[in-house]
């Protein structure tokens, strides 16, 4: 079966499941699609006792898909460009310091906290003989919040715009930082635990992160200059598409962070001054609608794939118990990693006491974490950490995603009280 037929099956399932969710469940698309796909996959298990045709077909489709490559090398760049394009750069600049600290220091702190707690808890209570560095790998892959999950769900929850820009800005950039940390630890573990050295770590960070941002700025500037010379909405839409595809190819060849590059390019092209100077009203409308559709399409496909990935999990009771332990650990570490930065920026950047709860509960994990977990080797306890990651992701998308509006409502009430007290 070729890639066209596999793609056809995935898009068909996404369309059918999306219709069912919109028609009957009426849940946010990302949540409804993943939930329906998981139920569908589990249903094929039950049906396989009588007829395993559907189960074999679904397993075959999943085996033909390189989830890690599709998410990290393909989908993520498109979705981050779309997210950057629709993010107000002026508002992001105002919140740049909290965003930078959350996306760097916050991810680093969370990585080590998760790694330490998972190492001691699983070895102590489940008797698993885990290496500390391997637990840090899990901490690195699970700490970044997923922009694919965050962007869609939080915006529909009616979150305060200032807090939204902090969370969205963090999610646009912390995946790139998380991937750099993950790759550094991965290389260290692969070399038998010998440290890479400070210089090697800084070099990798500079090449991946700083180089990615520099590439994104260059791509955004070049796209802007070319669009200035014409007034044809069809060609200008194609130019933005070419920016993403060429940018992804260049980043992969130069070993730069494609997510950071394309998020930066999207922010540059989407800023107000570029829109006024390079796009007519008609072009701006078509560009926005095109990338909104791309965003919806890829999100739809991605969360169907996440639901189907349940078929590749190793079914062991202790693995799922470890996943149940990992859920509160990840949430607690997320809270602790935000506590210091929020207190530092509380006065100057309009943080309310309830904001940290929203940022903790709204810090959703998604396809990026699963993609990184799939890249682990057997020696790194791939099967165990993949199940744990899947448990955290499913809980985040379904439970946290469905209830985050309660925290948003609490935040609004707190803000109103603050205003009333001040007046």
Residue 87 and residue 165 in contact, taking contact as beta carbons nearer than 8 Å? yes
- Boundary (domain end) residue, out of 21, 39, 63: 63
Quick one: 113 and 26 in the same domain? no
Please give the Cα distance from 189 to 184 (Å, whole number): 9
Residue 100 and residue 121 in contact, taking contact as beta carbons nearer than 8 Å? no
Please give the Cα distance from 155 to 159 (Å, whole number): 6
Name the band, by pLDDT with cuts 50, 70 and 90, for residue 315.
confident
How many CA atoms are closer than 13 Å to the CA of 198, on its beta-carbon side?
0
**What single string gives the DSSP state of each residue in 244-286?**
HHHHHHHHHHHT--HHHHHHHHHHHHHSHHHHHHH--HHHHHH
Mean per-residue pLDDT for 361-371? 89
* Residue 406 structure tokens: 């309660």
Quick one: 115 and 12 in the same domain? no
For residue 399, the 8-state DSSP code is: I
The per-residue pLDDT of the chain, averaged, comes to 87
What CATH number does residue 207 fall under? 1.20.1530.20
Quick one: 136 and 59 in the same domain? no
Best-predicted range by mean pLDDT among 321-330, 349-358, 395-404, 414-423?
A: 321-330
- Boundary (domain end) residue, out of 23, 39, 63: 63
Mean per-residue pLDDT for 79-90? 87
Quick one: 34 and 178 in the same domain? no
* Residue 223 structure tokens: 């796209």
Query: The tokens 């008797």 sit on which residue?
Result: 127
Q: Is 92 helix (H, G, I), strand (E, B) or coil?
A: helix
Q: Which pLDDT tens digit goes with each residue over 87-144?
A: 888 888 888 888 889 988 999 999 999 999 999 999 999 998 899 999 999 999 999 9
- Boundary (domain end) residue, out of 63, 78, 101: 63
Domain count for the chain, please give it: 2
Quick one: 38 and 117 in the same domain? no
Quick one: 40 and 82 in the same domain? no
Please state the pTM of the whole predicted model: 0.90
* Residue 422 structure tokens: 């001040």
Quick one: 136 and 191 in the same domain? yes
Those residues with Cβ within 8 angstroms of residue 120's Cβ, 6 or more apart along the chain or in another chain: none
Please give the Cα distance from 184 to 74 (Å, whole number): 22
Domain that holds residue 46: 3-63
Q: Which of 365, 383, 364 is nearest to 373 (CA)?
A: 383
Quick one: 113 and 87 in the same domain? yes
Name the band, by pLDDT with cuts 50, 70 and 90, for residue 408.
confident
Those residues with Cβ within 8 angstroms of residue 230's Cβ, 6 or more apart along the chain or in another chain: 236
Q: Which of 167, 162, 93, 174 is nearest to 349 (CA)?
A: 162
Give the per-residue pLDDT at 350.
65
Quick one: 95 and 52 in the same domain? no
């Amino acid at each position: 079966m070729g890639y066209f037929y596999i793609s056809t099956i995935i898009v068909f399932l996404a369309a059918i499941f999306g219709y069912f969710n919109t028609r009957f469940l009426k849940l946010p698309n990302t949540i409804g699609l993943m939930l329906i796909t998981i139920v569908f996959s589990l249903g094929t298990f039950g049906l396989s006792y009588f007829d395993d045709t559907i189960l074999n077909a679904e397993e075959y489709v999943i085996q033909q898909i390189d989830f890690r490559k599709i998410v990290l090398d393909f989908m993520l760049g498109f979705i981050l460009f779309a997210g950057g394009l629709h993010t107000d750069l002026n508002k992001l600049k105002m919140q740049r310091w909290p965003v930078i600290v959350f996306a760097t220091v916050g991810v680093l702190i969370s990585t080590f906290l998760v790694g330490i707690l998972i190492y001691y808890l699983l070895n102590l209570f489940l008797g698993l003989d885990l290496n500390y560095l391997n637990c840090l790998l899990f901490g690195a892959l699970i700490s970044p919040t997923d922009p694919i999950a965050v962007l869609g769900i939080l915006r529909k929850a009616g979150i305060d715009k200032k807090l939204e820009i902090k969370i969205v800005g963090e999610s646009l950039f912390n995946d790139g930082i998380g991937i750099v940390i993950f790759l550094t630890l991965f290389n260290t573990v692969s070399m038998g635990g010998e440290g890479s050295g400070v210089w090697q770590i800084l070099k990798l960070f500079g090449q991946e992160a700083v180089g990615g941002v520099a590439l994104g700025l260059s791509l955004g500037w070049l796209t802007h200059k070319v669009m200035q010379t014409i007034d044809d909405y069809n060609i200008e839409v194609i130019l933005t598409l070419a920016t993403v595809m060429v940018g992804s190819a260049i980043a992969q060849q130069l070993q730069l962070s494609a997510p950071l590059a394309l998020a930066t390019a999207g922010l540059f092209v989407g800023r107000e001054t570029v829109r006024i100077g390079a796009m007519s009203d008609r072009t701006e409308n078509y560009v926005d609608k095109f990338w909104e559709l791309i965003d919806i399409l890829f999100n739809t496909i991605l969360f169907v794939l996440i639901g189907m990935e349940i078929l590749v999990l190793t079914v062991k009771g202790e693995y799922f118990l470890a996943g149940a332990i990992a859920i509160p650990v990840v949430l607690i570490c997320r809270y602790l990693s935000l506590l210091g930065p929020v207190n530092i920026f509380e006065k100057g950047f309009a943080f309310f006491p309830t904001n940290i709860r929203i940022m903790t509960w709204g810090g959703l994990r998604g396809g990026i974490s699963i993609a990184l977990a799939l890249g682990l080797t057997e020696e790194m306890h791939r099967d165990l950490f993949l199940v744990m990651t899947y448990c955290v992701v499913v809980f985040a998308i379904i439970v946290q995603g469905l209830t985050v509006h309660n925290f948003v409502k609490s935040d609004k009430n707190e803000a109103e009280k603050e205003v009333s007290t001040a007046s």
